[in-house]
């Protein structure tokens, strides 16, 4: 995926508005450099903010009236501490030196010390959060969609056998990936082998899991009317779950409902003799066959299956899945409504083990499971369900939705249904395969069929997650070009360029956060360096706060050094209001008099 990730500025609509969603995506190496630079920039900004605080405090406390030593030491500290850490250390030394004095004198130190502590805490927190300017946004990235195309599932005579074979191989691989992802990322006890962090969400939650649902068909054809299964995704936001990046008024909402029940066979079976062999037939409908073409207009359904009235449901797609034993033996009798293996088969012995194992087989040649699959699309920009189409079969849904839904429906149609999963994967799609060993089926529970349906459901949802990403990243395999459908209009191209995934190979940053950090920091830095020249200008031109300004200048380290030597009249000084006062190069300043080691002086 790395070569297909968009690098630059884009809007991640999951973060709300265009302002808050503005995102910068870059390579991980460049992102790490930006994080490191920001982590250094923020403490520097805080140190300049401390200098502003020191200047304001120094001006506030400055007075021409006589004050005690603690006052003047505090003023010197405010003038010369480069950051809150050094300021606090100096203030603590003052407190330590005057520890035997009355506490009332410390009242002038505590406020400044308190603010120094606050600055240190704020600097630490800001530095910590600055290193998370990428992780706070998450690892969502936008795909370019340059190779975006849908793999057509319609056979319209334009595909040769090679193309059809390649299509089948591709779909099988996609479903294999979906099965593996469902087993790992939809399981309550994942093994941790696969990476579940590719899609924008780990999995699509099922809001309704009803394992005691009624019969989705006529009540007299289901084996039980109170132990069936109904699964409902609820309304799935195309941005939040499928990663189709769009503002709320341009999103889609998708819902899928699956209802299944084991079907009765009594009264719906017959026998067929072919080449002196007798087969059991199951009569739940008819299959259309090629007939002589005739002129005329008539409606066409998307299916050639014509179910009998008992299993007909006009509000959904009907799928009947037949489970056949095909020589599989069971280690114990199964009371499951679909597996129904209660007939004794034969005794088995195991090499190296004593005793005889009884095995069982299917009661009938095949066991039918009927399912109704329903779909619904909504426009979330409308309130409630007013923007929703009907909960219906796919054919009815196509005629009910607008053009903006069609591309998304075409993307999904290949893998997000029971028929596609079971037809393509066969017995491999059954959850019971995990306990099948050497032709013997073990550990079949009484609700095994519900576990199988739930597994199909998870595979479908997993496939629905991957199909959008696969469409955006479509790489034209040799021979598949005739089966690929490219976007036909601007809206479809926009969808292709709106696919998000999660990737740790890139770093994404909140553009608002970056701009706020650097613009605010630059303003603070600029103000901190401009205050001195501004005060100097006001002092010279308007005599503004002359004593406060002069004290600020003379409390600086170099000026204190000048004042100490000026009292000895060692020479004339120049630039007495600047940062660095100087003398004539021939002037010799006094050295320390260390005759009293405890009180050296000039």
**303-307, 352-356, 445-449, 533-537: least confident range:** 352-356
The secondary structure of 30-47, three-state, reads HHHHHHHHHHHHHHHHHH
More confident residue, 291 or 536: 536
> Tell me, what's the pLDDT at 572?
81
pLDDT (tens digit per residue) in 386-433: 778 888 887 776 655 555 566 666 666 655 678 888 888 888 889 998
For range 564-591, the mean pLDDT: 79
In this structure, are residues 378 and 392 in contact, taking their beta carbons and an 8 Å threshold?
no
Residue range 348-368: mean pLDDT, rounded: 76
Residues 6+ apart with CB under 8 A from 442: 330, 331, 435, 436
Q: Which of 201, 194, 190 is nearest to 178 (CA)?
A: 194
Q: Give me the mean pLDDT over the 25-42 stretch.
A: 90
Average pLDDT on 313-329 reads 89
3-class DSSP state of 386: coil
Q: Alpha helices, DSSP H only, in 444-566?
A: 448-472, 490-496, 511-542, 546-554, 557-566
Q: What is the pLDDT of residues 131-152, one digit of tens each?
A: 667 766 778 999 998 888 887 7
Q: How confident is the model at residue 297 (pLDDT cuts 50, 70, 90)?
A: very low
Q: Say if residues 256 and 216 touch (Cβ distance below 8 Å).
A: no
- Which tokens hold the place of 572? 């004339």
Q: Residue 260 and residue 323: Cα distance in Å, rounded?
A: 14
Predicted confidence at residue 191, as pLDDT, reads 61
The pLDDT value given to residue 385: 73
Q: Which helix (H) or strand (E) holds 343?
A: strand 343-348
Give yes or no for residue 329 having a pLDDT over 80: yes
Strand partners for 253: 237, 378
The H or E element that residue 274 is part of is strand 269-274
Is the pLDDT higher at 411 or at 305?
305
Confidence of residue 295 (pLDDT cuts 50, 70, 90): very low
Tens digit of pLDDT for each residue in 48-57?
999 999 999 9
**Which of residues 301 and 339 earns the better pLDDT score?**
339
- Per the prediction, the chain carries an average pLDDT of 84
Neighbours of 127 (CB within 10 A): 16
pLDDT surpassing 70 at residue 294: no
Greatest mean pLDDT among 235-239, 413-417, 597-601: 235-239
Residues 456-482: pLDDT tens digits? 999 999 988 888 888 888 765 567 777
Average pLDDT over residues 17-38: 90
- High-pLDDT (> 90) share of the chain, %: 31
What whole-number distance in Å separates Cα of residue 431 and Cα of residue 447? 11
Enter the tokens of residue 589. 């300043």
How far is CA 602 from each of CA 440, 555, 593, rounded to the nearest angstrom? Answer: 102, 19, 5
**What pLDDT score does 93 carry?**
92
More confident residue, 595 or 334: 334
Q: pLDDT band for 298, please (50, 70, 90 cuts).
A: very low
What's residue 378's pLDDT? 85
Reduced 3-state DSSP string for 158-218: CCCHHHHHHHHHHHHHHHHHHHHHHHHHCCCCCCCCCCCCCCCCCCCCCCEEEEEECCCCC
Give the residue-averaged pLDDT of 518-543: 91
Range 224-229 average pLDDT: 93
Mean pLDDT of 195-220: 91
How confident is the model at residue 547, as a pLDDT? 87
């Amino acid at each position: 995926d790395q070569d297909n990730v968009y690098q630059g500025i884009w809007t991640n609509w999951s973060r709300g508005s265009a302002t808050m969603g503005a995102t910068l995506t870059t390579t991980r190496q460049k992102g790490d450099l930006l994080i490191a630079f920001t982590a250094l920039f923020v403490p520097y900004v805080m140190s300049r903010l401390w200098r502003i605080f020191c200047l304001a405090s120094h001006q506030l406390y400055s007075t021409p009236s006589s004050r005690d030593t603690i006052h003047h030491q505090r003023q010197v500290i405010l003038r010369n501490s480069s950051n809150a850490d050094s300021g606090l250390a100096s203030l603590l030394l003052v407190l330590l030196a005057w520890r035997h004095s009355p506490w009332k004198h410390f009242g002038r130190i505590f406020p400044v010390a308190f603010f120094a502590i606050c600055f240190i805490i704020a600097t630490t927190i800001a530095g910590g959060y600055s290193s998370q300017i990428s992780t706070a946004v998450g690892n969502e990235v936008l795909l370019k969609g340059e190779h975006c195309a849908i793999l057509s599932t319609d056979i319209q005579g334009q595909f040769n056998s090679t193309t059809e074979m390649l299509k089948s191989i591709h779909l099988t691989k996609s479903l294999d990936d979906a099965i593996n992802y469902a087993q790992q990322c939809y399981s309550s006890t994942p093994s941790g082998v696969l990476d579940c962090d590719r899609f924008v969400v780990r999995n699509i939650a099922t809001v309704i899991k009803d394992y005691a649902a009624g019969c989705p068909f006529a009540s007299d054809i289901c084996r039980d009317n109170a132990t069936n299964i109904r699964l409902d995704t609820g309304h799935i936001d195309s941005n939040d779950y499928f990663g189709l990046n769009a503002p709320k008024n341009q999103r889609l909402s998708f819902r899928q409902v699956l209802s299944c029940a084991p079907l009765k066979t009594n009264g719906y079976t017959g026998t067929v003799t072919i080449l002196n062999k007798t087969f059991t037939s199951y009569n739940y409908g008819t299959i259309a066959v090629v007939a002589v073409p005739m002129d005329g207009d008539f409606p066409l359904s998307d299916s050639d299956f014509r179910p009998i009235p008992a299993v007909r449901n006009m509000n959904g797609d009907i799928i009947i899945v037949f489970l056949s034993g095909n020589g599989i033996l069971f280690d114990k009798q199964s009371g499951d409504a679909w597996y129904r293996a209660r007939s004794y088969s034969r005794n088995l012995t195991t090499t190296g083990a004593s005793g005889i194992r009884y095995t069982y087989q299917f009661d009938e040649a095949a066991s039918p499971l009927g399912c109704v699959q329903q779909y619904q699309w909504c426009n979330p920009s409308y309130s409630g369900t007013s923007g929703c189409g009907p909960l219906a079969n796919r054919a009815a849904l196509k005629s009910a939705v607008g053009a903006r839904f069609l591309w998304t429906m075409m993307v999904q149609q290949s893998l997000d249904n029971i028929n596609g999963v079971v037809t393509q994967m066969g017995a491999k799609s059954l959850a019971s395969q995990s306990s099948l060993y050497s032709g013997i089926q073990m550990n079949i529970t009484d609700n095994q069929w519900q576990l199988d349906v739930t597994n199909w459901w998870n595979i479908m949802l997993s496939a629905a997650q991957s199909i959008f990403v696969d469409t955006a990243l479509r790489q034209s395999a040799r021979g598949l070009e005739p089966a690929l459908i490219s976007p036909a209009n601007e809206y479809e191209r926009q969808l292709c360029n709106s696919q998000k995934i999660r990737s740790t190979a890139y770093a994404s940053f909140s553009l608002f956060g970056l701009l706020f950090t650097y613009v605010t920091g630059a303003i603070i830095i600029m103000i901190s360096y401009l205050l001195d020249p501004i005060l100097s200008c006001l002092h010279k031109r308007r005599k503004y706060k002359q004593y406060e300004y002069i004290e600020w200048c003379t409390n600086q380290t170099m000026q204190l050094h000048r004042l100490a030597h000026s009292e000895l009249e060692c020479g004339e000084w120049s630039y007495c209001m600047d940062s660095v006062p100087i003398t004539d190069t021939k002037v010799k300043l006094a050295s320390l008099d260390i005759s009293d080691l405890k009180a050296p002086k000039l």
